[in-house]
Chains A and B, each alone.
Chain A
Amino acid sequence: MLPQAGADAGSKTPTGPQTKLSIEDIVVEFATEKQRVRVLDGFELTVGEGEFVSILGPSGCGKSTLLKVVAGLMEQNQGRIRIEGQIIKGYDSRVGMIFQEYALFPWLTLRENVEFGLRVKGLPRKERAERSQRFIELVRLQGFENHYPQQLSGGMKQRAALARALVMDPEILLMDEPLAALDAQTRITLQDEILAIAQKTRKTILYVTHSVDESVFLSDRVVVSTARPGRVKEIIEIDLPKPRDRTNSEFLLYEARTLKSVREEVIKMGEGR
């Protein structure tokens, strides 16, 4: 095990059998014209192999920034990211990412979108077609292969984005508020699907959301982040079998506890302004 830096509350050993992803002491600052803003202030978290971990925190606390650092889209000012103990810098093919805005390429069809990563990797056409078809079917979008993103509903777009990430077979999947732009009904359907896919594919998932219900429903552990600058405030282990029953009293207790923890930070964020 790696030494734990500082006395961060809740930096616990992961529940999974093996540490997959270690986020160590990540500090990110943005320099604007007037000032330097510290967005992440020593973020520490380890995620076990196959584990589903959610990060919950007030808007602007640096959740997206953290995922971008892990995905190699942004450089941290301090700290390290490790996969299986090995420090990574920049893009790593073991990491995939899903965005709230779907980020499907509007000039490509659904199939071409799903094949994008395979194409830049130089895979032959036939293999691309086979692999993409498999994942299009996994997210139940068969029949829409030749549709353009604009012709798909929000839920279908996010499923397409999921297929596009999964086809690359990443070991770690980062999801940044993937369901935030969807209506309540679609969101619940997709939560079920994400859960099913997570269990089926055994991916290690780091999931950002602002929905308490979603985080308790999906995760093995919920990480509550402090208001900006973001740090781990508390980690709540959700010790309930999946799929979970939202009306179960234990589920509701977990929700209440999580909500209370997040609320304190949301209020702080408001005072900070």
Chain B
Amino acid sequence: MPALFDKLIKRWLWLLVVIGVWQLYSAQMPLVPSPGTTLQTGADLATSGELATSAIDSLVRVMESMAIVCAIALPLGFLIGLSERANRYMNKLISLLRPLPPVAWIPLIVMVWGIQNKTSLFLICVGAFFPVLINTIDGVRGVQRIYVSAAVVLGAKQSQVIKDVILPAALPPILTGVRVGIGIAWMLVVIAELVAVKSGLGYMILNGQLDMRLDVIIVGIVVIGFIGLAIDRLYQMFSRRVCVTLRQVERA
């Protein structure tokens, strides 16, 4: 028991320190809410349903964007990865667009589409698109030729080689690309909600700023952080479920 207690202390000591400093600091600054007040605000936001509504708005945006991204980037990545000609056509365009920071699109897209959901989805999509596309291309390209050869001498036709060899062999890097894409999407959804649409967790903390409610902002930031972490964990569980190779790497 003392050993367990010891371990808990060591693990969470930093949190105690943060809360302690925060408490002292808030006592001197009228604008800064105390940890207790913030916790109360968090509970209020949770019970009123505002937190859940905002979180769901943000999550839905990320899911919609990732669905769009995957629907375009995965087939396109396969095409470019498999076909030298498609690669030649697309290469220049990709290398031109890729280094562009997604937020650089904001003025343009807000001007064209105004403040609406479509605008935020576009922003998230352009950010998440390239890691998914590039990892798919590299994954498909990186499939060892020997696997293709082995399948061909076992009688596999071209479509079977793509479905039964290239897809499973390229799956780990593709899953990684989608993981990076989701991470970026979660960051961009908050940015998009600060500037391009009027709902979600980003909009909630923006309102906190306008109302000078630091407690709301802090609750928002913490929730955004935890949801981001939870999404990543869940996604990794999903990856291990769909990809034998990932499970194997861990076991080895």
Chain A residues proximal to chain B, CB less than 8 Å: 68, 71-73, 91, 93, 95-97, 99, 101, 103-108, 116-117, 119-121, 148, 150, 164-165, 168
- Are the CB atoms of B150 and A68 closer together than 8 Å? no
Report if A168-B155 is in contact (Cβ < 8 Å); known contacts: A107-B171, A120-B164, A150-B248. yes
Q: Which 4 A-B pairs have the closest CB atoms?
A: A117-B154, A103-B150, A107-B168, A97-B153
Question: Bound complex: CA of A68 vs CA of B145, how far in Å?
Answer: 12
Which of A68, A101, A168 makes the CB contact (< 8 A) with B154? A168
B98: chain A residues at CB < 8 Å are: none
Within 8 A of A (CB), among B121-176: 146-147, 149-157, 160, 164-165, 168-169, 171
Distance in angstroms from B138 CB to nearest chain A CB is 18
Nearest to A101 among chain B residues (CB) is B146
Closest to A73 in B: B149
Task: A106 to B157: give the CA distance in the assembly, Å.
Answer: 20
CB-CB < 8 A to A148: which residues of B?
244, 248
Indicate if the CB atoms of B154 and A116 lie closer than 8 Å.
yes
Given A68-B149, A120-B154: 10 more A-B contacts, CB < 8 Å: A71-B153, A73-B149, A91-B152, A91-B155, A93-B155, A99-B149, A105-B165, A120-B156, A120-B157, A150-B251
* Residues of B in contact, count (CB < 8 Å): 23
A93 to B155, CA, bound (A): 7
User: Beyond A116-B164, A120-B160, is A107–B169 a contact (Cβ under 8 Å)?
Assistant: yes
Measured CA separation A99–B153 after assembly (Å): 11
**In terms of DSSP, what is the predominant structure of the interface of chain B?**
helix
Q: Is B13 an interface residue (CB 8 A)?
A: no
Q: In the bound complex, what is the Cα–Cα distance between A96 and B155 (angstroms)? A: 9
Q: Which of A93, A106, A116 contacts B151 (CB 8 A)?
A: A116
Main secondary structure of the interface of A (DSSP, over half): loop
A selection of 27 A-B contacts at a CB cut-off of 8 Å is A68-B149, A71-B152, A72-B152, A96-B154, A97-B150, A99-B149, A99-B150, A103-B146, A103-B150, A104-B150, A105-B150, A106-B245, A106-B248, A107-B168, A107-B244, A107-B245, A108-B168, A116-B164, A117-B156, A119-B164, A120-B151, A120-B155, A120-B156, A120-B157, A120-B164, A148-B248, A168-B154
Is there a chain A Cβ closer than 8 Å to B252's Cβ? yes
Instruction: Give residues in B with beta carbon < 8 Å to A.
Output: 146-147, 149-157, 160, 164-165, 168-169, 171, 243-245, 248, 251-252
Q: Which residue of A lies closest to B247 (CB)?
A: A148
Cα A76 to Cα B14 with chains together (Å): 68
Report the Cα distance A103→B148, complex, angstroms: 9
Q: Whole-angstrom distance from the CB of B130 to the nearest CB of chain A? A: 26
B154 partner residues in chain A, CB cutoff 8 A: 96, 116-117, 120, 164-165, 168
C-alpha gap A91/B160 in the complex (Å): 14
Do B155 and A121 have beta carbons less than 8 Å apart? yes
Given the known interface contacts A116-B164, A120-B164, A148-B244, the answer about A105 and B147 at a Cβ–Cβ threshold of 8 Å is yes
CA distance A103 to B164 in the complex (A): 14
Which chain B residues border A119 with CB–CB below 8 Å?
Answer: 164
State in angstroms the CA–CA spacing of A168 and B155 once bound together. Answer: 9
B252 touches A150 (CB 8 A): yes
Closest residue of chain B to A74 (Cβ to Cβ) is B149
| B168 proximity list for chain A (CB < 8 A) | 105, 107-108
- Which residues of chain A have C-beta atoms less than 8 A from B171's C-beta? 107
B244 CB contacts on chain A under 8 angstroms: 106-108, 148
A243 to B251, CA, bound (A): 41
Q: What residues of chain A lie closer than 8 Å to B151, measured between beta carbons?
A: 105, 116, 120
Quick one: closest B residue to A119, CB to CB? B164
- When chains A and B are docked, how far (Å) is the Cα of A107 from the Cα of B172? 11
